[in-house]
Amino acid sequence: MNRQNGAERPYDVVLFGATGFVGALTAEYLAAHAPEGCRWALAGRNRDKLEQVRARLAVDRPHCAALPLLTADADDAAALRELAESTHVVASTVGPYIHHGRALVAACAEAGTDYADLTGEPEFVDRMYLEHDTRARETGARLVHACGFDSVPHDLGVYFTVRQLPEGVPLTVDGYVRTGAVFSGGTFASALTAMSRGPQTLRAARERRLHEPRLVGRRARAPQGSPHFSPETGTWALPLPTLDPRVVERSARALERYGPDFRYRHFASVKHLPMALGGTAAVGLLTAAAQVPAARDWLSARVEPGTGPDEQRRRRSWFTVRFIGEGGGRQVWTEVSGGDPGYGETAKMLAETALALAFDDLPATSGQATTAVVAGDALLDRLTRAGLRFRVATVR
């Protein structure tokens, strides 16, 4: 646990953004799975909505009627500093993070408070590294981004795969992602925001590369692969330009277990070629539309933040990520799978990450770090017990 200067604080975990769609699901998960004695609280900008969330939780779990409620606006630096100083861990679901997440990260870095979020926005992660990594290392805060479907299954899936391969040799891993799910309004808004900020994203990535320490005697890469048919999976593989490969690369840079020369490639796995071509075209059109403010506003209005698929649709949703790892004359196929990736499983991943930060005996880290680096084995165990499946399919 991160107990800054040994000081006790009123809360173990504060969930910020508890009134949003994924925030409410995360609150439900914590209500059902937080360990006895866990001191946690709901936080957001609207007290009335927080009270509504608390009341819904208390219907099935009467003890939740006494959950503390903390009010703070995402832009109120003073209120966020007070919030950060009151807890050991903050879990945030408030996106788009580039617009609504910066002040909270700053507050946690300054207060020595662990922080976890759900961002899939590369620009935000790079900016937070540039602005707050140094201070977080000084205060002992652990800043852990991308703690949902972006990017836990991929980061921990590669971590799990690497553990099945020989040590001290060059390793390669390819990941193939398949899902059957729909987006919430908040996820769609974050994706549109990221697509509309291409130049800013590239600039932040360049600045980060200038400031990150160079690896000495080792190499870790996550190049973009090319579209191809994968005989191993029997599907068409399309490069996914998401945050996930960057997260895997950072885990590989930090952990020597990934070997002296590590390479990861990240693909969407599509069964039929017409669907692959159609998906590629749709992403291209959406990216182009996101550059035009009027078009972006029109698209955002189609799926409003705070909305999402109903419980029946979420129950039908699923994801599978297959990994093919090679090194030292050995090949291993592994798989990570679960239910609804964007909501039920994402809420589970964020909540379990926050609980691991609050209660588990983790490696000594500080500053911005990935889930694999901060809590690899502990989080693997937690998520396996919580129903996600990590398995070795084939070893050759």
> Minimal CA–CA distance to 91: which of 78, 82, 101, 77?
101
Q: Is the pLDDT of residue 294 over 60?
A: no
pLDDT of the residue at 180: 81
| Helices and strands: H and E segment counts in the chain | 15, 15
Q: What is the mean pLDDT of residues 295-307?
A: 51
pLDDT of the residue at 296: 42
Q: What is the mean pLDDT of residues 218-231?
A: 93
Per cent of the chain over pLDDT 70 is 84
> Minimal CA–CA distance to 323: which of 219, 130, 172?
172
Q: When comparing pLDDT for 396 and 54, which is higher?
A: 54
Q: Is the pLDDT of residue 251 over 80?
A: yes
What DSSP state is assigned to residue 240?
-
Q: When comparing pLDDT for 165 and 190, which is higher?
A: 165
pLDDT of the residue at 194: 65
Q: What is the mean pLDDT of residues 247-253?
A: 98
Q: What is the pTM of this model?
A: 0.90
Q: What is the mean pLDDT of residues 35-61?
A: 97
The model's pLDDT over 263-283, given as tens digits with 9 standing for 90+, comes to 999 999 988 564 555 554 444
Q: Is the pLDDT of residue 157 over 60?
A: yes
Tokens of 273: 């070629």
- Give the span between the Cα atoms of 172 and 161, in whole angstroms: 10
The model's pLDDT over 366-387, given as tens digits with 9 standing for 90+, comes to 999 999 999 999 999 999 999 9
What DSSP state is assigned to residue 310?
-
- Give the span between the Cα atoms of 165 and 172, in whole angstroms: 10
Cα-only R_g, the chain: 20
> How would you class 343 by CB atoms within 10 Å of its CB: exposed for 0-12, middle for 13-18, buried for 19 or more?
buried
pLDDT of the residue at 276: 52
The lowest-confidence range among 55-59, 182-186, 198-202 is: 182-186
DSSP H helical ranges for 230-292: 244-254, 273-290
pLDDT of the residue at 396: 85
Q: What is the mean pLDDT of residues 5-13?
A: 81
Torsion of CA 390, 371, 316, 52, to 10 degrees: 140
The lowest-confidence range among 7-11, 142-146, 177-181, 223-227 is: 177-181
Please state, as a whole number, how many other Cβ atoms lie within 10 Å of the Cβ of residue 341. Answer: 24
pLDDT of the residue at 62: 96
* Residue whose structure tokens are 């599978």: 320
Dihedral (CA of 113, 118, 124, 127) sign: positive
pLDDT of the residue at 341: 87
pLDDT of the residue at 299: 45
Phi, psi of 284 (to 5 degrees): -60, -45
The model's pLDDT over 94-130, given as tens digits with 9 standing for 90+, comes to 988 999 999 999 999 999 999 999 999 999 999 999 9
Q: Spelled out in words, what is the top-level CATH class assigned to the domain 4-148+345-381?
A: alpha beta
Domain ranges of the chain: 4-148+345-381, 152-341+387-395
3-state secondary structure of 354: helix
Tell me what the pLDDT averaged over the chain comes to: 89
> Minimal CA–CA distance to 81: which of 47, 100, 105?
105
pLDDT of the residue at 314: 72
Q: What is the mean pLDDT of residues 297-312?
A: 57
